[in-house]
Structure 1
Amino acid sequence: MRSLLGTTALLATMLAGAMGVRAETLPEALAYAYANNPNIASARLSVESSGEDIAIAKSDALPNISLGANYTASFSATDDLFSTSQNFTLGLNYSQTIFDNHRTDGQVEQSRAFSELATHALANAEQNVLLSAVDAYMSVVRDTQLVAIRQENIAFFRAQVGSANDRLRLGEGTRTDVSQAEARLAQAVAAHQAAIASLQTSQASYQRWVGRPPQNLSASFTYQGLLPQSIDEAIETAQADHPALKSARAAIRASQAGADIARSAFGPTLQLIGSVCAVGCFGADGPGGMSGQIGLTLSIPIYEGGSLGAGQRKANLELIKSEVDALSSYDEVREAIVTAWATVINSEAQISSAQSAVASGQEFVSGLVEERDLGLRTTLDVLDAQSDLVTSREALVQANASRVIAQYTLLASVGRLSATNLGLPVTVEDGQAYVQVVEDVWQELRAVPAP
């Protein structure tokens, strides 16, 4: 009885929510998840951080200018003389790499490739979060409906227990009928409690991915017509749009730049170094004035213990590995497309079958109850038919949820599951505005906006 009271309270809360809170549609839930999920925010920060790597790589080819100041105090002591002196100098130091065998160019190219990789990782994180939010949303809808179905099933079996007891008192039934009905009622109560537990788990998953507790979710929504019409179209779309494949291509580009960087280490490096002294250039007692110097430094590696060759070989292996990884990514995406496509087709077939089973099952149970009351059927016949009907109703609920999840999974497998493609009412942020700002080579001379 305590369990049933708890169940009634849960359903009353759900009903009160349905009456007092406007239904939250799936697009609204996805929009909130996009704006508030920390996984997306973390991936966006990685994109902005990659922009700083580009600026750092560029700095190797730009001038380094610093202000230098030096103060010294000294003394000397002899048998009959003690003296002290002080000197202060102030000037500018300048250094710049004139040529490094294109090493800096390779570093800039590699940093740009890694930034592109971070951008595609952000798109992939966005897909994963939105797909997880869809799964959590439909799981709550599904489990809410299952709780209601199993609550109705408890009421049905309770009525059958009462009917069996009435017929037993009238001498028209048996103790076996009562026992069978009571056993089915106990099973229905246990199944109902399991449904409540599943609903609570789904609600926790919803809050994790969407960012707030579910409130009166709507089982119906307007679906965007973005699904491909064939597997071939899906695969072709994925090759152009899927962020995992774009990431694989960006990784190849980064590895190629890494090979160029390793190769450049074998070449010469030429640096321009200069300094200007403005104060105290000729000592404390010397004349006033300025002094300066400028020079070139050339460095050509001859032997560095085998590190240069090892670096080149490793970079070449990394390039080959990135190409192999790209092939693996393509196979994974293709497998995901075929699996999602098959799941969509199967779920539609399951829905059609379950709808027919529910329609016929409802009529069959009603007929059996009437025949049982006339003595033409047994209580067990009614109980078995009701159990089959509940199984069919639950299968229909699960198939409807599975179809929606499979459709969005198919969208994700072709790379179309994004806030832009879904038309979500959010401001899409990809971190590129920040990257463009910090790439400015003179940005240290003025304020940079916070991310």
Structure 2
Amino acid sequence: MQTLGLGAPCRRPSRPLVAALLGVSLLGLSPVSAESLQGALAKAYQTNPTLNAARANQMATDENVPIQRAAGLPSANITSTFNENVLIPDGQFVVIPRTLNTAAQLQVPIYQGGLVKNGIKAADARVAAGEETLRGTEASVFSQVVAAYNDVLRDTQIVDLNRNNVKNLEVNLRATQDRFEVGDLTRTDVAQSEARLSQAKADLRNSEANLIAAKERYIQQVGEVPADLSSPPPLPGLPTDVAEAVEVAIKENPDIAAATKNSEAAGYDVKTARASRLPTLSGFGNFNRNDNFGGARANIPINIPSTQKSAVIGAQLQLPLYQGGRPSAQIRQAQARRTAAMETQIGTERLVIQQVRAAFASWRASLDVITSAEAAIAANSLSLEGVRAENGVGNRTIIEVLNAEQELINSRVQLATARRNAYVAGFTLLAAMGNAEARDLDLQGITLYNPKDNYRRAKGQFLDWTGRDAPMIRSTRTVTTPAQEAAITVGEDAAVAAPQ
């Protein structure tokens, strides 16, 4: 069993059982060249546009921290103004044809009522919320990949079953027609065989269309055409009861963690709004230089220097007295948003609990359906053999044979569907518990993305002229992939594994 060993350190310890989810094969019989579920997830992790867009959005959220911090740092600017006096009024004692005025200003915030401090804390909380949201996006994308992967396997099996059914019914029809020719069967028997064959062909066309749709969904999520998909491994680490699942989800679910951090950020927003009613203190320094380029002329005997300089430093205290009610309105607004964030936190918790319980119920029900379907296949296989044997001696009709064959096909389709549903429900349950993200899986050959790396870079930037790499697309396009067909290639007949 493989364990996690890739990527940057995680907030919580890795789980060897969950890491093994995709690290081992179900039976070890798949060809070396077959695509595994682990490989499909690794490709989606690197090239899925939804995931890459979420990472870029998180990078944008990181920049709110230095933006808020900038309000508490010194600022400096230089303003230079050139004047050319093109029309000088008569009677002037001093004539200055042109001037260049340069002013340098330095502002140093000293106290702003907690505006900067709480703004930075709110930004930090939203960065943490964004990281949790990114976790949720990973789990969501992986859940869609798992569903698409298993859809292809299920629909491939159903197409294969329907194609074999059509072939068998074609043989049945020819045999029925031959027996009709010799008077052993009636025209009704032939019509029943023809009707069943027509229905089987219709079922085949529908299943082929479903397979094509499943392959296209796979391409959408993974970015490549599904080929030779191997059986997915069993899902380890599933809870023994629903109470355990809910308990883990409350602690680890990223949506709950994100809602908690957003509520915390809204609390800092209230403190930020209150700062607008408090006094502010700042220091300043101004330097001015005025240059007339030695062109000043005077009608009276005075000395006019070509350059004049002045400088001043000081402090400014501003005490708000009345602002038209704006601060109170902003505080009330922030408080209302804080209330909304707290309610959203409870609503998210409710939703996660519902998702966990529903996924657990679906998973357990699908496992029961698998057991029933396997028993039904065994019974229907035995029944079909008996009905065929009895039909050979005239004790059973053709329609009874056709019905027995159809019941066996239905049982096999039900088994393939139940296995798919159980696997997807099991993975959905792990995702709702916060245990189905990249850091929980052994995605070999890739380096795990750590959002804290960009956060540390953004937080350490103080200069105005720093930047980042030019925007670029990291996801793959699928316009060049061929339109999918219902062809079944070697390896696509792998069975969907049922969670243990």
Query: What TM-score does the superposition give when structure 2 sets the normalisation length?
Result: 0.82
- The residue type equivalent to 1:149 in the other structure is L
1:13-162 paired onto structure 2 within 5 Å: 22-74=33-85, 75-78=87-90, 84-162=96-174
Q: Which residue of 2 aligns with 1:197?
A: 209
Q: CA deviation at 1:126?
A: 0.8
Over 3 Å counting, the alpha-carbon distance change for 1:21 and 1:204 in structure 2 is farther
Whether the aligned pair in 1 keeps the contact of 2:98 and 2:293 (CA below 8 Å) is no
Q: Which residue of 1 aligns with 2:291?
A: 280
1:245 equivalent among 252, 256, 264: 256
Whether the aligned pair in 2 keeps the contact of 1:45 and 1:431 (CA below 8 Å) is no
Q: Which residue of 2 aligns with 1:212?
A: 224
3-state SS of 2:88 partner: strand
User: Once the two structures are aligned, what percentage of the paired residues are identical?
Assistant: 28
Take 1:441 and 1:45, find their aligned partners in 2: how far apart are those partners?
A: 18
Q: Which residue of 2 aligns with 1:303?
A: 322
Q: Which residue of 1 aligns with 2:429?
A: 410
5+ long unaligned stretches in structure 1? 1-18
Whether the aligned pair in 1 keeps the contact of 2:99 and 2:292 (CA below 8 Å) is no
Take 2:95 and 2:308, find their aligned partners in 1: how far apart are those partners?
A: 26
Whether the aligned pair in 2 keeps the contact of 1:107 and 1:258 (CA below 8 Å) is yes
- The residue type equivalent to 1:385 in the other structure is A
Q: Which residue of 1 aligns with 2:180?
A: 168
Over 3 Å counting, the alpha-carbon distance change for 1:80 and 1:443 in structure 2 is closer
Tell me the alpha carbon deviations over residues 11-44 of structure 1, each in whole angstroms, 9 at most, x when there is no partner. xxxxxxxx99922111111111111111111111
Q: CA deviation at 1:449?
A: 5.6
Q: Which residue of 2 aligns with 1:343?
A: 362
Whether the aligned pair in 1 keeps the contact of 2:277 and 2:320 (CA below 8 Å) is yes
Q: Which residue of 2 aligns with 1:15?
A: none
Q: Which residue of 1 aligns with 2:456?
A: 436
Take 2:66 and 2:466, find their aligned partners in 1: how far apart are those partners?
A: 15
Q: CA deviation at 1:413?
A: 0.9
Q: Which residue of 1 aligns with 2:412?
A: 393
1:341-380 paired onto structure 2 within 5 Å: 341-380=360-399
- The residue type equivalent to 1:435 in the other structure is Y
Over 3 Å counting, the alpha-carbon distance change for 1:224 and 1:444 in structure 2 is farther
Which one is further off, 379-388 or 109-118? 109-118
Q: CA deviation at 1:448?
A: 5.0
Query: What TM-score does the superposition give when structure 1 sets the normalisation length?
Result: 0.90
Q: Which residue of 1 aligns with 2:25?
A: none
Q: Which residue of 2 aligns with 1:293?
A: 312
Take 1:69 and 1:286, find their aligned partners in 2: how far apart are those partners?
A: 19
- The residue type equivalent to 2:312 in the other structure is Q
3-state SS of 2:216 partner: helix
Q: CA deviation at 1:274?
A: 1.5
Q: Which residue of 2 aligns with 1:255?
A: 266
Q: Which residue of 2 aligns with 1:10?
A: none
Tell me the alpha carbon deviations over residues 130-173 of structure 1, each in whole angstroms, 9 at most, x when there is no partner. 00111111111100100000001111111111111111111111
Whether the aligned pair in 2 keeps the contact of 1:69 and 1:90 (CA below 8 Å) is yes
Q: Which residue of 1 aligns with 2:7?
A: none
Take 2:188 and 2:328, find their aligned partners in 1: how far apart are those partners?
A: 87
Q: CA deviation at 1:445?
A: 5.7
3-state SS of 1:76 partner: coil
Over 3 Å counting, the alpha-carbon distance change for 1:320 and 1:85 in structure 2 is same
Take 1:398 and 1:174, find their aligned partners in 2: how far apart are those partners?
A: 37
- The residue type equivalent to 1:36 in the other structure is T
Whether the aligned pair in 2 keeps the contact of 1:30 and 1:210 (CA below 8 Å) is yes
- The residue type equivalent to 1:400 in the other structure is R
Q: CA deviation at 1:84?
A: 4.8
Over 3 Å counting, the alpha-carbon distance change for 1:98 and 1:178 in structure 2 is same
Q: Which residue of 1 aligns with 2:478?
A: none
- The residue type equivalent to 1:431 in the other structure is P
Normalized per residue, the structure richer in helix is: 1
Take 2:305 and 2:83, find their aligned partners in 1: how far apart are those partners?
A: 15
- The residue type equivalent to 1:158 in the other structure is E
Is 1:317–2:328 an aligned residue pair? Answer: no
Aligned alpha-carbon RMSD (Å): 2.3
Take 1:59 and 1:361, find their aligned partners in 2: how far apart are those partners?
A: 74
Whether the aligned pair in 2 keeps the contact of 1:150 and 1:188 (CA below 8 Å) is yes
Over 3 Å counting, the alpha-carbon distance change for 1:315 and 1:82 in structure 2 is closer
Which one is further off, 226-235 or 165-174? 226-235
Q: CA deviation at 1:260?
A: 0.4
Take 2:321 and 2:293, find their aligned partners in 1: how far apart are those partners?
A: 40
Whether the aligned pair in 1 keeps the contact of 2:99 and 2:293 (CA below 8 Å) is no
Q: Which residue of 1 aligns with 2:277?
A: 266
Whether the aligned pair in 1 keeps the contact of 2:35 and 2:229 (CA below 8 Å) is yes
5+ long unaligned stretches in structure 2? 1-29, 297-303, 472-500
Whether the aligned pair in 2 keeps the contact of 1:371 and 1:377 (CA below 8 Å) is yes
Tell me the alpha carbon deviations over residues 411-446 of structure 1, each in whole angstroms, 9 at most, x when there is no partner. 111011101101112322143212211212523365
3-state SS of 2:84 partner: strand
Tell me the alpha carbon deviations over residues 328-359 of structure 1, each in whole angstroms, 9 at most, x when there is no partner. 11111111111111111111111111111112
Q: How many residues end up aligned between the 2 structures?
A: 432
Over 3 Å counting, the alpha-carbon distance change for 1:450 and 1:58 in structure 2 is farther
Tell me the alpha carbon deviations over residues 296-338 of structure 1, each in whole angstroms, 9 at most, x when there is no partner. 2222222222221111112112112211111111111111111
Q: CA deviation at 1:46?
A: 1.2
Over 3 Å counting, the alpha-carbon distance change for 1:422 and 1:226 in structure 2 is farther
Take 2:195 and 2:241, find their aligned partners in 1: how far apart are those partners?
A: 49
Is 1:329–2:351 an aligned residue pair? Answer: no
Q: CA deviation at 1:78?
A: 2.5
